[in-house]
Amino acid sequence: MDIVVSSEQEILQEGEAVLIKHLGPSKAARFLSAWRQGGADYLKIREKLFEGETVDSLYDKIVEFEKANEDEV
């Protein structure tokens, strides 16, 4: 199994594209502006988002997501 590691810039660009697609340009810009202010506690957010998850369980979810969205890429 080969593992491809994307650069931080590539990940940020992909995330921004997803936000724009799903929120529209205006809401995406507002979200990014608020997010970049850094007012949130990343560790608390991370704990809430990934509670009960392991690297293996997240990997399985990623694989399922990619398989389900192969046509969109």
Domain boundaries, the chain: 7-39, 41-73
Q: What local confidence, expressed as pLDDT, does residue 69 receive?
A: 83
SS3 sequence of the chain: CCCCCCCHHHHHHHHHHHHHHHHCHHHHHHHHHHHHCCCCCHHHHHHHHCCCCCHHHHHHHHHHHHHHCHHHC
Q: What is the rounded radius of gyration, in angstroms, for the C-alpha atoms of the chain? A: 15
pLDDT at position 8 over 80: yes
Tens digit of pLDDT for each residue in 11-70?
889 999 999 999 998 888 888 888 777 666 777 877 888 889 899 998 999 888 888 888
Say how many residues make up the chain.
Answer: 73
Q: What local confidence, expressed as pLDDT, does residue 60 receive?
A: 92
